[in-house]
Structure formats: structure tokens, C-alpha cells
Amino acid sequence: MMNDDLYRMTAVEAVTRLKKGEVTPLDLVETSAKRIAEVEPSVNALPTLCLDRARDHAKRILAGTACEAKDEAGWLAGLPVSIKDLTDVAGVRTTYGSPIFADHVPTRSHPLVERVERKGGIVMGKSNTPEFGAGGSTFNEVFGRTRNPWNTSLTCGGSTGGGAVSIATGEVWLAHGSDHGGSLRRPGTYCSVVGLRPSPGRVTRGTSNNLYSPQSVQGPMARTVADLALFLDAMAGFCPQDPMTFDAPSVSFSAAVARPVAPKRVAFTADLGGKTELDRDIREICTKAARRFEELGCIVEEASPDFGPVDEVFMALRSQQFVVDRELQLQQYRDKIKPDIIWNTELGLKQTASRLAWAERERAALFRRMGEFFQTYDLLVTPGAPTAAFDVNLRAPATIAGKKLENYMAGSTVNSAITVTGSPAIAVPCGFDQYGRPVGLQLVGKPRGEAALLQAASLYESLMGLFKLLPIDPKPGTVPPSA
């Protein structure tokens, strides 16, 4: 493979070649830099680059002075990655997508970035995100809009939209992200890559003020499930700065994916038992795609847990998290914060202690019902999103199944409901709609059951073969008509 084509390798292939000395970290940094220069004007995925910093890190790895983790699971050996612009990287402009922090340069990296760099990941740049990660389409007043490489007139989703695009186009091999209401899963679905929301505590959140909330998590995105498992190995483990974290498993996720075992019983629900709307073509594509698990020897049945009043529960808990994160900023910088964040924070400020207590009781009851459900089924499958990618200029789809949305989160139930359960979930590509827009499934596993979840995703991925289409060159297009 010529150096100009190295970006086409999977992360697993690239790391294997790095370990053998067939390519060097500097080779991959320069390949990444060249690819970024080629595609960035079309997509705006990595608005902040740190190429000299990346080259310096590559040289330290080559010199053997930054290789203390080379015998550990998740050793990346000098592989270029992107870090979401919600997460500090020392010496690199980090804006959180907010005009308030437009010129912010942290002096220390987030604990997860320190872990990834210790494991041989080389940070090439910061991926674009909505302001403070709030939104299902990636745009902000600092850097503008990130575009979907399958059709640049469309959104890439949010809030890890820049990360998804950076791997779909081959700018980097792996992307870091975060997920509250679907921020790793929705961009994965819209960009035909894989994005994992891990179990709470699997990956450190480090500097969060919501350290005792399981709602928001950090996690990996990649082009293939094996690549995703590799990056999860680099991320996972106990962190003294996060009280919810726990030790990494004795058997690595990469080892588990190398010897996959198919789930015996698979449940599929298109609409979470009537809890969410979705466009008709998405329902049809995902229903047919879920049936393909039968080709792996699985029993596939239409079934859904009882999600109860999950939308109300999620919004109560989400709004409380916004109060923790944004109340003080709202007092000082209200004129610089976008309306969706103000609305969500004020919703939290207005709700009563009784309402929060109700939401916590309902969350606990849902967790118990999910436990009972997983005594019968090994895997829950849903659509990855209720619509295909929409106009890049919109903050949310105008309608779902012909119905107007009440607020910017109203179309996220298929993802946010799973957030409330505490279960890990992964977005996997399953096809395209009539306009060529990617469609994906959301696979949901048992709490802390990432190994079995990744195994199921890997087998399904091999069956579908869609990963072979990546990486892609950005394609111009038009916005299809609304469903």
C-alpha cells in the first residue's frame, strides 16, 4: 500500500503494521494531515488542528520515550485520533462549541485524553460539536456547520458529528466522543460508522461536575467494530478522578471480538412499544435489516421492554444535569448561550424536588424491568434514528412521520430511552434509503455487557459488509423531500 493510501487501512490493520515497524507513527501523522487538507473544505469536521504537537508525539513514540503502555490492551502504537471539542487537550484550543470559550486553551488534558495518549493515540485535532454538546445537528457560532460526507447538504447528526465525519472520510482512524441522548449513536447512524455508548463507569468522564450521574458518558467511534473494540480497550478502566469507574475486564474487548459468539434470542422493536415515532421508510428498512440476525442462527422476535413514561423521565433528569452544568454560566453569559440550552436549563430550574424524586423512582423501575427483559433476550435491536439525515441548516428534523416536533429533543426518544436504562448501545450501519442516506440499527446489550454486545455487532457487520464502503470522499447533493 502506497503512503497516500494508508488512510484506507482499518485501525486494527494500521496498529498491526505500526507494531511490526512496517509503517511509523510519523508516516500515519503525515497521511492523516494530507487527508485532512483534502477533505476539510467540504465537511468542516476538524476545525482545530494540532499537527506540530502530533508530530512531536510521533517522534517520542519512535524514540521509545512514550511507550510505557505498549504491552497493555488498547495500545495504539502511534495511531492518529480525533478528540471532541468538549474535551480538553493541553495546549490546544478547546472551545466547547461556545463563543464564551472561543479563545480557551487548557494547560492540562482531560483524564481520558491523558489515557488515550499514554496508550499511543496521537491527537490530530478537535472535532466539531454543537454548543456544549447540546443538539442533534453539529453546528456552533465559533466554527459553523459540519456536513455529512455522504451528501454535504445534509447534517452529520450530533453531538459527536465532527468525530463521525473525521473517521468516515479517513481523516483519522478513530474518534473520541460523548453521549447523553444519542450523541455517539445518531452521528454513527447518519454517517454509516459505528459509535458506542458504553455502560456508565466503563470510561472516565474525569472533570465533569455531574460525576454521580449515569446520563452522560464518553466513548469511541470507528469504521469497524474491531476498531471500536480496540479504542474501547484504550479508554476503559478505573480512574481516580471519576467515582463511577471500574477496572477494565481481564479479557480485552479486542480479544472478545476476535472470537465472536452470536446471541441466541434477539428482540426487535421499531418504536419501543409505541413510545416513539419514526418515518415509514426507516421502519421498513430497519425491520427487514433486523431479521438478518436470523442468518446468524439467532431467534428474532418482535418484543419491547415496558419503557413507561421514559420521555418525561429523561427530560427531568437531563434538565437537572443542565442546571448543574449551566446555571452559573446562564447568570453570567445568558446573551452568549443558544436558546435550546437556556430552555433546557430553565426547565430544570422550574421543576420541583418531588418531580425529580419521581423521575429517579421511574428510572430505577425501568432498570429492573430491563433486567427482567434480558433474562429472556440476549440483545435488543431498534432503529438507530427515527429519520434519515436531514437538511444541514436545520437544528432538528422538521417532522417525524409527518408530525411536527415540540422541541429539539423530541425526535431523540429511540436513543434517549436507552440512556435511561443504563445499558450499553452501539450504532451499526444496516443500509441506505431511496435517496442514498445511511440507515443504521441500534443494538442494546446488558449492563456492563459490552463484550457480548460488540461480538453481536461484529457478526452483524460481517454479514452486511457495509464497512467496505469506507472511507469515502465527500459527495455534494441536495436535500430530499420530507417524509
Note the pLDDT tens digit of each residue in 355-385.
999 999 999 999 999 999 999 999 999 999 9
Q: How far is CA 406 from the centre of its chain?
A: 25
Cβ–Cβ < 8 Å for 423, 363: no
Tens digits of per-residue pLDDT, 449-467?
Answer: 999 999 999 999 999 999 9
Partner residues linked to 197 by β-bridges: 425
- The structural domains of the chain, ordered by start, are 9-469 (3.90.1300.10)
Residue 446 has pLDDT above 90, yes or no: yes
Tens digits of per-residue pLDDT, 116-175?
Answer: 999 999 999 999 999 999 999 999 999 999 999 999 999 999 999 999 999 999 999 999
Tens digits of per-residue pLDDT, 61-97?
Answer: 999 999 999 999 999 999 999 999 999 999 999 999 9
Confidence of residue 483 (pLDDT cuts 50, 70, 90): low
Give the amino acid at 274: G
Q: Which of 32, 82, 84, 213 is catalytic?
A: 84
Partner residues linked to 121 by β-bridges: 79
Residue 3 has pLDDT above 90, yes or no: no
Radius of gyration of the chain (CA): 21
Vertex 6: Cα angle to 3 and 8 (nearest 5):
145
What per-residue confidence (pLDDT) applies to 307?
A: 98
Gap between the Cα atoms of 59 and 53, Å rounded: 10
* pLDDT mean over 43-60: 98
* pLDDT mean over 42-65: 98
What per-residue confidence (pLDDT) applies to 408?
A: 84
Catalytic residue list contains 213:
no
Catalytic residue list contains 183:
yes
Tens digits of per-residue pLDDT, 196-252?
Answer: 999 999 999 999 999 999 999 999 999 999 999 999 999 999 999 999 999 999 999
What per-residue confidence (pLDDT) applies to 297?
A: 98
Catalytic residue list contains 416:
no
Of 214, 228, 44, give the one whose Cα is nearest residue 137. Answer: 44
pTM over 0.95: yes
Q: Which of 109, 183, 319, 458 is catalytic?
A: 183
Confidence of residue 2 (pLDDT cuts 50, 70, 90): low
Q: Which of 82, 159, 252, 423 is catalytic?
A: 159
| Contact partners, residue 454, CB within 8 Å, separation at least 6 | 196, 225, 228, 229, 232, 253, 256, 257, 426
In DSSP notation, 92-121 reads S---TT-GGGTT---SS--HHHHHHHHTTE
Confidence of residue 1 (pLDDT cuts 50, 70, 90): low
* pLDDT mean over 253-270: 98
Confidence of residue 342 (pLDDT cuts 50, 70, 90): very high
What per-residue confidence (pLDDT) applies to 26?
A: 97
Residue 4 has pLDDT above 80, yes or no: no
Tens digits of per-residue pLDDT, 282-326?
Answer: 999 999 999 999 999 999 999 999 999 999 999 999 999 999 999
Gap between the Cα atoms of 14 and 20, Å rounded: 10
